[in-house]
Amino acid sequence: MEKNYWSRLGAQRRVSRRSVMRGAGVAAAGITGAALIGCGGSDDEVASSGSAATAAATQALAQVTETQAAQATSTQTSVAAVATTAANVDPYPNVKRGGTIVGSWIQDPPTIDPYGNLSYLSKYPSLFSVSRLFTNGTGEGQSPYNLGPELDLAESAETEDAVTWIVKLKQGVKFHNKAPVNEREVTSADVVSSWNMLVADESPNKDTVPNIDSCEAIDDYTLKFVCGAPSATFIDTMGDPNALHVQPIEAHNGGFDPAKEIIGSGPWIFESYEPSVDFMFSRNPNWHGSSAPMGSKFAAPFGDKFHWISVPEYQNRLAQLKAGNLHYLNSINANDVIPTKEEMPGLQWYGARPALMSFLYFSNNELDTNPVWSDVRFRRATSMAQNRDDITELGYEVEAMVKAGVGSKEDLLRWNNLIPAGFEKWWLNPTDPKMCKAGDDFKYNPAEAAKLLQATGYDDSEIKFQYYPYGGTGGTFNKIGEAVQAYLTAIGLNTEIEHQDYSSQYITQTFTGNFSGIAWGYETPFPEVGGYFPRMFGDNARNHGRIKDARIDELNALQAAEADYEQRREYIYEIQKINADNMYYVPGQAGAGVGWTGAVESLGGYRVWKSYGMGTENSPWLWLKS
């Protein structure tokens, strides 16, 4: 079993004490923490253990563990080999180059400037064209949740104490050939300028980099980041597609307007955007992220253009796929998988549990002076009211998939915890004995739920059940949301569904805790598991339920600094258990099932990605066989 959190795929070699990530080799630093409590520990025992471990977590790291990275199994040449691949040698001999790849999107972004809005919709288009320091690993036939970070603009990352990190940039990387940058080289000044945009007081995205206090340029190709405490997750955090998008400094000093133009050093050059119609991108011939040298005729992206068209309604997207007007379609409803498979026998199918956690959360602000959901019995009742197996069947057609030979029931039928089931190496199965009595609250028990609700003194007053209908009407999320509301009604809750607009209300108001009643939604699919806890329990504006728990704070500090994989996992297991004991957030089943992507027979190179990095981590590798 993997013992060091930083072990990952890469070229097989030893890494030095200081080199945490250089080429394809990584190592990490570790902190010794206190043992976790088990079932039945007292509150006093928890506080004592947590305090001792938190004290340990604030010390400088004692050592950097040397590790030998596993041999790379991906068909892509490792990042370390990029510089040594000859310009006249094709690292992808089976790929046919050229043509236009066509994909679809659902809703207009509120802005194309990734720093202009919290919405994930503003990140997607940027990441076709704008680089990051690190990206999330992907590979054909591999789950991205089993892969570590990859180098993007960064050439290396080093640390002595996991507090101060030195990141060196690749030299010779050019911005796109567009005014006002005109292929000038990317330097540390661009990174620092982008960092300042990310963490500015008015930035809606500043909480995506918790515990990283500063970024400064040492020289044109060297950066120094300082964390507030030892961080074993610095690289993962910096690889989050929600966070640092390296724009040219001209985007921030008036050289051009990033709300109207996208310029970066990424795989695709932005050509045009027409709201509710399409985005058009063309191939960047000098992309640094390919395994062939920059400027080589063999370098990715493999397509000449990427045409991203607006198709808001799900049934229209499916019809466009069947008509051959889309090369692939994500999030195909489970009930459409088998009929579409029969209708299009040549369609390629990619199934992946998306590591997407949905949850009920409750208002906790001045709008509700004495909410009944402040009573833990109320929150536990809302969890026991839900038949999670039946909800999963409704959303993901588990029985039909099993009968069709697409997976086993044990694999397809899983319950989300505070960490989603798709994030398997960190997920604590709610049925695991480690959950102790808290695991009982995940089980369908409407009689006990009704008793708990009655004991709270709930007076049958109407409660808003509010959410954003992801993907249009009829989609998996919305079917599940309607079912959850029906289950709540069945135990005696008087709830009324309120559909909210995503950009103007849900993500800017409800998601930030500024609402009254009960909300239902998806949590941001963080590529690094440590992102969940500061967002959902920390001191930031998007603590949805405005929840504070001292024990979770202590455990969060420990897990963020712990490099030993098994020890870190135990801290994260304990956080999931504490949430379940209190049902601060009630985990739901939207996102717990396997999601399906269909790709036409002529499309090669498809990779499953996580979070919002599709533009960089999937699309450059797509190619047309005919």
CB-CB neighbours of 548 under 10 Å: 13
Residue-wise burial string across 84-115, b where 16 or more C-beta atoms lie within 10 A, e elsewhere: ebeeeeebbeebebebebbbbbbbbbbbbbbb
Residue-wise burial string across 124-147, b where 16 or more C-beta atoms lie within 10 A, e elsewhere: bbbbbbbbbbbbbbbbeebebbeb
CB-CB neighbours of 247 under 10 Å: 28
- Beta-sheet strands, E only, within 252-400: 268-274, 278-283, 305-310, 328-332, 348-352, 358-362
pLDDT at 40: 62
pLDDT at 88: 77
Please state whether 513 falls in left (phi above 0), alpha (psi between -120 and 50) or beta. Answer: left
CA 135, CA 267: separation in Å to the nearest integer?
13
Kindly report whether the peptide bond that precedes residue 301 is cis, defined as omega within 30 degrees of 0: yes
Q: What is the length of the chain?
A: 626
CB 438 within 8 A of CB 581: yes
* Partner residues linked to 522 by β-bridges: 358
314-322 vs 334-343: helix crossing angle, rounded to 10? 20
Give the helix ranges, DSSP H, for 422-490: 446-455, 476-490
Q: Mapped to the 3 state alphabet, what secondary structure does 133-184 carry? A: CEEECCCCCCCHHHCCEEECCEEEEEECCCCEEEEEECCCCECCCCCCCCCC
Q: Which domains does the chain have, with CATH numbers?
A: 9-71 (no CATH), 98-327+600-624 (3.40.190.10), 368-547+584-588 (3.10.105.10)
Q: Find, among 399, 379, 348, the residue nearest to 586 by Cα.
A: 379
pLDDT at 526: 83
CB 396 within 8 A of CB 331: no
Kindly give the parts of the chain with pLDDT less than 70: 1-38, 40-87, 367, 369-370, 471-474
CB 303 within 8 A of CB 622: yes
pLDDT at 369: 66
Residue-wise burial string across 158-178, b where 16 or more C-beta atoms lie within 10 A, e elsewhere: bbeebbebbbbbbeebbbbeb
Q: What is the dihedral of CA 615, 525, 382, 314, to 10 degrees?
A: 10
pLDDT at 250: 98
329 by Cβ neighbours in 10 Å (0-12 / 13-18 / 19+) ranks as buried
Which H or E run includes 216? strand 212-219
CA 165, CA 245: separation in Å to the nearest integer?
18
Provide the 3-class DSSP secondary structure of residue 30. strand
Question: pLDDT tens for residues 149-195?
Answer: 999 999 999 999 999 999 999 999 999 999 999 999 999 999 999 99
**Tokens 């089943």, residue located:** 589
Which H or E run includes 554? helix 550-561
Which H or E run includes 558? helix 550-561
The tokens describing 231, both together, are: 């961080």
| DSSP for 567-607, written as a single string | HHHHHHHHHHHHHHHHTSSEEESTTTSPEEEEE-TTEE---
pLDDT at 36: 55
Phi and psi at residue 282, to the nearest 5°? -120, 160
CA 63, CA 61: separation in Å to the nearest integer?
6
CA 310, CA 618: separation in Å to the nearest integer?
19
**Tokens 């999320």, residue located:** 477
pLDDT at 228: 92
pLDDT at 5: 30
Query: 3-state SS of the chain: helix, strand, coil percent to 5?
Result: 30, 20, 50
Which residues have CB under 8 Å from 435's CB, separation 6+? 428, 429, 442, 576, 577, 580
